[in-house]
Structure 1
Amino acid sequence: MSVPKVEIYTKMYCGYCYRAKRLLDSKGVEYEEYDITLGGPKRAEMKERKPDAITVPQIFIDDKAIGGSDELAALERDGKLDGLLGL
């Protein structure tokens, strides 16, 4: 089984971003982090990938939009996150 690509769009001083990254870190998952604090091309990319996204973090696993920190925590609570992460 291949390791899924995990990407997370974040901003500085974002508690929800910190919480999501902490959960991924606790599972030993590598992820690509894009800091969009100052906007720029990565913010535009996030909006293109998930047009209704208005908050951070925005998390993608193998290019599938998972949502934010609450949705990531819900997947963990429901026992579905490990499967998505290939663990």
Structure 2
Amino acid sequence: MAFEQSRYQDPVTYKMTPAMIRARRPFFAKNMFGLGILLGVTAGVYGYTYNFLHRDGDFSDVPIPPIDAKELEQLKKEYEEHKKQRDE
């Protein structure tokens, strides 16, 4: 069953026997071609996604509103208070 010795493996080295190599030889080229297609599609999807996500200027047309000194001081104060609470 699960622990039976395979007829297609050498019992000492567990390598494929010549019979198994001969049986797999006709399918090797087709399998490598299929592997190449799968890897190519995968690389294409990852490459397209990487290029799409790393475009510059996503928010370059959005204006940043100016902030006055009073608001800046208030934000700094809130940040320091939050930082102290987080560290405690």
What TM bracket, shorter-length normalisation?
A: under 0.3
Q: TM-score, normalised by structure 1?
A: 0.20
Structure number with higher relative contact order (C-alpha < 8 Å, ≥ 6 residues apart) = 1
Q: Hey, which of these two has a bigger chunk of helix by percent? A: 2
Q: Hey, which of these two has a bigger chunk of strand by percent? A: 1
Q: TM-score, normalised by structure 2?
A: 0.20
